[in-house]
Structure 1
Amino acid sequence: MRNETMEKPTVRYGYAAQSRKGEDYFLIKTDCQRVPGNSSSTFSVFAIFDGHNGNAAAIFTRENLLNHVLGALPRGLGREEWLQALPRALVAGFVKTDKEFQSRGETSGTTATFVIVDGWTVTVASVGDSRCILDPQGGDISTLTVDHRLEENIEERERVTASGGEVGRLSIVGGAEIGPLRCWPGGLCLSRSIGDMDVGEFIVPIPYVKQVKLSNAGGRLVIASDGIWDALSSEMAAKSCRGLPAELAARQVVKEALRTRGLKDDTTCIVVDIVPPDNSLQPSTPPKKQNKLRALLFRKKSHDSASKLSKKLSAVGIVEELFEEGSAMLAERLGNDDTITHSTSGLFTCAVCQVDLAPSEGISVHAGSIFSTSSKPWQGPFLCADCRNKKDAMEGKRPSGVKVA
């Protein structure tokens, strides 16, 4: 039976947190509707915002990002079209949220990992290092985000440097360098975030987006701030809570992280179980401990069996990848299709902030861009002057025009 004809899964969730600095925030909303008033169009949103240099950006993003993403989606789409339009709407929503927060003149910043669950389809958009992993029933653990840490991400280091930023470690008396790689000015360890106007706009809010479809076996998502991931690998986090219901699973992941590393940072975890509606399938239980002799005798056999099983599962498509894109170039992320940039009033609208534009006001996202794949600079989507300036600043074509108050 194909996923399109299957019943919608049951979504269960749990969360747990331990605060040290009070800068982690999260969002859980399970009653969103693609079509207002239509209960069959319900989808869920789960998000984590790990703030730094204060909590203002995390709070602002929690309160505004969802509305900005939904506002960038065209009206009247069917479910499949809506899911296909999500990646572009997520990019627009992230950039609009960043632009609005920076206009307030505050220097706080935040990561954002934003997860939309619609039926068996999971769409994740992220900036920063608040990771989301998928532990599918019967499949391999996978990561649905990319860590935007300068220390670990070579591509992001090269992009920041090419856009005018400097990357280096903190220098102390005597010239010694300590700690992780940071971007200067500002000293931020991340290459993408929302806010952080004091760092420079080459620290961009353009998210990595991945969309997957689960099989009817379902699976588990673990979404957490770096207080978890600095202590536990993806595999450790997933395996530590297998067999537990979502609420207990989230507590167990936090407990395991604290046991491993102590409370050195805010530590927040959301666990989401996407399970068949009849609930006949329980989460897999933790493996039983074996004595060493038995482990040696059966290691080869079990490894071969697991390998064969993995091939069979991948053949039937346990997790189907629908979309993945991580480019930091706005022209690439918004595409060439200008059919969705018309407002209900018949005017053009800005593809990022959704303001109405007269035909003479819109500037193509591709105009003058050496990164554009379009040979038609008059082709949409279109940007207002403010969003065009924002785009140029993110690509290092001009200094950031926003000054700290």
Structure 2
Amino acid sequence: MENLCCLQFIGGPSSYSSGKGKNHEGNIKFGFDLVKGKANHPMEDYHVARFVEVDEHELGLFAIYDGHSGDRVPSYLQKHLFDNILNESEFWVDPKRSISKAYEKTDEAILSHDSDLGRGGSTSVTAVLINGQRLWVANLGDSRAVVSKGGEAIQMTTDHEPSTERVSIEHKGGFVSNMPGDVPRVNGQLAVSRAFGDKSLKSHLRSDPAIQDTVVDSKTDLLVLASDGLWKVMDNQEAVDIARRIKDPQKAAKRLIAEALKRDSKDDISCVVVRFR
């Protein structure tokens, strides 16, 4: 398999970024939109949305990386995670194992760069569309991927929240805080139980992704990827219903973010919409 070190997912900070594209045949279209939240730090969301040709296969590569404690980890993921997945020698025969191994290796690389990378962290949701027919989705944290099949919203990811993974965190010697008026946090700090980076918390966190796949059949019409800035204020079916009404996926992504802002979401918000038909 050809070396993919030069796919070049470099895009710089994604604040106020918007765009669209389509596959070679033009029958699968995507659009994305990212908006900085109200916090007084730089934009910490990064994305990937593109089609590439590899070994006579067409791959759709879509991701959202929602950083915390800085933007260095999501920026690193934007540049390297898909390269690492596709460079796994078993990718074409065992995508699930390859995605899992690449997530693990990428996290190890981030932690080994501790002086400039490992202190911060990032959630991740990645989607790999193989030849327009099979969709592999993986995630760490609370960014989410939702597929629409015949208009029905199906969540392809697992929200990794401290309250649901309390046993694992406590088994590793950590604790989950439940302060009034706040969300549950690992060791009083982090609101997700799995993430890339976060070296100071890593002994109490997991970085193995949840992975699911689905066949893109005649009922599969949409894929929505978004950071928790959207999902905090909108449920899966609402997002699918809004996106299905708008033919242009870039306009659909913009509309979803506009609706989240109207509902007073204060976080960075990133959204990728893929329309299969």
1:167 aligns with one of 152, 169, 176: 176
**Paired residues for 1:5-154 under 5 Å:** 10-20=27-37, 21-33=42-54, 35=55, 38=56, 41-74=57-90, 82=92, 84-105=93-114, 106-118=118-130, 119-136=132-149, 138-151=150-163, 153=164
1:205-354 matches, within 5 Å, as 205-244=207-246, 245-262=248-265, 264-275=266-277
1:196 aligns with 198
Q: Which residue of 2 aligns with 1:5?
A: none
The answer as to whether partners of 1:120 and 1:216 remain within 8 angstroms in 2 is: no
Shift of 1:17: 1.5
Q: Is the 8 A contact 1:133 1:234 kept in 2?
A: yes
- String of CA shifts for 1:62-95, please: whole Å, max 9, x gaps: 11111111122338xxxxxx2x511111111111
- Offset of 1:9 from its aligned partner? 8.4
Give 1:216 shift.
2.5
- Shift of the alpha carbon at 1:10? 2.5
Deviates more, 1:98-107 or 1:121-130: 98-107
Secondary structure of the structure 2 residue equivalent to 1:201: helix
CA distance in 2, matches of 1:189, 1:13: 30
Q: 1:179: which partner in 2?
A: 182
RMSD after superposition: 1.7
Q: Which aligned segments of 4 or more residues in structure 1 are displaced greater than 2 angstroms?
A: none
Contact 2:152 2:237 in 1 (8 A): no
Q: 1:103-153: CA deviations, max 9, x gaps? A: 1113100001000011221110000000100112x25211000100113x2
Q: Which of 1 and 2 has higher RCO (CA within 8 Å, sep 6+)?
A: 2
Question: Which letter does structure 2 place at the counterpart of 1:121?
Answer: R
Aligned residues: 244
Give the partner amino acid of 2:28.
V
Contact 1:149–1:189, Cα closer than 8 Å, also in 2: yes
| 1:192–1:32 Cα change, 3 Å | farther
CA distance in 1, matches of 2:212, 2:162: 21
Q: Is the 8 A contact 1:53 1:109 kept in 2?
A: yes
TM-score, normalised to structure 2's length? 0.83
Q: Percent same amino acid at aligned positions?
A: 27
Structure with more strand by fraction? 2
Distance 1:72 1:202 in 2: 27
Structure 2: runs of 5+ lacking an equivalent = 1-24
* Alpha carbons 2:222, 2:244 under 8 Å: kept: no
Question: Do 1:9 and 1:120's aligned partners in 2 also have CA atoms closer than 8 Å?
Answer: no
